[in-house]
Amino acid sequence: MDSKDGAVPRMRHLSIRTARQSDPTGGSAGEEEVDGGRGGAVKEGRRLEGERRGEEEPVSPGGRLFHQRGFDCYIVAIMGCAKPIDVGVVKSGLEKTLVRHPRFCSIPVVLDETGGTKSRWVPAKVVVDDHIVIPDLADPRRIATSPDQLVEDYIASLTCIPMDHSRPLWELHVLNFPTSDAAAVAVLRLHHSLGDGTSLMSLFLACTRKASDPDSLPTVPSHYSRRPPASKRLHAGAFALLLWLWAFLILAWNTLVDVVWFTATSIFLKDTPTPLMGSQGLENRPKRIVHRSVSLDDIKDVKNAMHCTINDVLVGVTSAGLSRYLSRRNEQNANDDDKKKKEKELPSNIRLRSTLLVNIRPSPGIHALAELMEGRDGGTKWGNLIGYIILPLDIFNHKDPLDYVRRGKAIADRKKNSLEAIFTYKSAELIIKCLGIKAAAKLCHRMLTHTTLAFSNMAGPVEEIEFFGHPLVYLAPSVYGHPQALTIHFQSYMNTMKMVLAVDDKVISDPHQLLDDLAESLRIIRDAIPDRP
């Protein structure tokens, strides 16, 4: 990638070399390459075949999918710390927690078995020092002059470097210098085959503790469905039966429509070309990850005023922010002759959709995962049991800013009454069995290239937490490796909401402007709330 001087790190402990990394023995990086691909893992797996077979687990279909060419996905979690990072303390903490999880002490390998080859998680020895990376940055002057840009460039350079598949697929990068909003930054990089985003976030939180009570696990908001008492349900009689039949018909109809739209998208139906759409092969290009904090209280104010959920508000804010951004790009691209006509006007028929990964199995709680890492496994389920949802976004310049939230709520409510995620998971499972993993990967790749962006939202701790004694100022997770030029992630933590963008900067060269548009859209929507006594 094209980077400023000093942006590409010289790493210690990272056994994958690129053309820009110097060889400590004096030779060039190209003279002796370490096999960081899956070929080394296959050889290692065949060497380990027959050893500790009782502890091996099959790789889930979703996990196998994330190892396919064009779909090699990684999750990164950027952590801002309130004090410099003590690497020795963090290492000791990892050895007592994360390393004890089965996925973090295993490697995915292909084993020769009766009936063909099978992908399995094989236990491997973990040397924590090999997974902690302390970069040797080339230009220390940049630490003093532009530390935020240096962190951003460093993380962008990580997206170009594959992991070494001969050891467990996780790394912790430590950037021990102050930035504008943290005393130090740690970057946890995980391969997506280790688990879905929600489960991995729960696992990470199980490694943390409350800052106010170092012996207690964090408190994360939970959503419970409220059901009427059994006596009221029994007395409802025929009216309840009619309601149930009506709800079933709506669910069946919505699922059928979603299945048709999903199938059409996988085959031929593409989003309207916009400045946010990527091109062929962008999954192999570096991604720039930027983030911005906004007030969670502002989002809650909108939620309470509109009688909706936080996710509904975020869908509305995303639609408003993207509409604002595309209006500006439309104005910039307009010719002088028709600039007045096109100024801040958007076509009314823009098809712009996002994809959401949905965990179709309830995520294990942080208490259950903490017990698992302590060696008390209570039957905790793990794996990539995920389906896709295609979420249309309202791209239009509404006169009333609250219309974005109203449309977001309508879209979200419609998707809640559908089994689209279960259908996509089961159909992918069937395709893998009948046609193989490559056919399933090609189908998913085609579906993603026909949509514009990926979208996700996660609830985080409501109080300050510590990562092995290091108080966290912010938490900013994201993902890369999929064939979309834009990923928008919302992560709550204490009284803030972190907006995180992962972009291909050859497509979206001004990601900070897009963050500005999202933040400004939230402010406009918040100010549009009618005054209440």
Cβ atoms of residues 450 and 266 within 8 Å: yes
Average pLDDT for runs of 10 along the chain of length 533: 40 33 35 37 41 65 86 94 96 93 90 68 93 83 82 94 92 95 96 89 91 90 51 60 90 95 94 91 92 96 94 96 93 62 68 90 68 62 80 93 95 93 90 90 92 94 95 96 95 96 95 97 94 55
**HSE on the CB side for 300, CA within 13 Å?**
8
- Tokens at 204, concatenated: 């990470």
Contact criterion met (CB below 8 Å) for 148 and 179: yes
Q: Are residues 194 and 104 in contact, defined by beta-carbon separation less than 8 angstroms? A: yes
CB 420 within 8 A of CB 389: yes
Residue 209 near residue 470 (C-beta atoms within 8 A): no
Q: Of 116, 98, 117, 114, whose CA–CA distance to 106 is shortest?
A: 98
Q: Which of 176, 58, 169 is nearest to 122 (CA)?
A: 58
450 a catalytic residue: no
Sign of the Cα torsion 362, 363, 368, 373 reads positive
Q: Do the beta carbons of residue 357 and residue 455 sit within 8 Å?
A: no
Paired with 190 in beta bridges are 75, 170
CB atoms within 10 A of CB 391: 21
Catalytic residue, candidates 131, 165, 192, 482:
192
Kindly state the tokens that stand for 54.
């009782």
Q: What are phi and psi of 314, to 5 degrees?
A: -65, -35
Q: What are the DSSP calls for 395-408, one per residue?
A: -S--SSTHHHHHHH
The DSSP code for 10 is B
Give the tokens for residue 172. Answer: 């912790």
Q: How far is CA 333 from the centre of its chain?
A: 31
- Residue 492: CB atoms within 10 A of its CB come to 21
* 394 DSSP assignment: -
Give CA–CA dist 435/431, Å, rounded: 5
Element containing residue 106 per DSSP (H, E): strand 106-113
Instruction: Please report, for residues 94, 456, 522, the alpha-carbon distance to residue 315 in angstroms, rounded to integers and kept in the order given.
Output: 36, 10, 11
Question: What's the pLDDT at 335?
Answer: 56
Burial (0-12, 13-18, 19+ Cβ within 10 Å), 85: buried
Backbone φ and ψ of 304, nearest 5°: -70, -40
Neighbour tally for 79: CB within 10 Å = 22
Euclidean distance between the first and the last CA atom of the chain, given in angstroms as a whole number:
55
The answer for residues whose C-beta is within 8 angstroms of residue 425's C-beta and 6 or more apart is: 360, 385, 386, 387
How far apart CA 350 and CA 326 sit, in angstroms, is 11
User: For the whole model, what pTM was predicted?
Assistant: 0.84
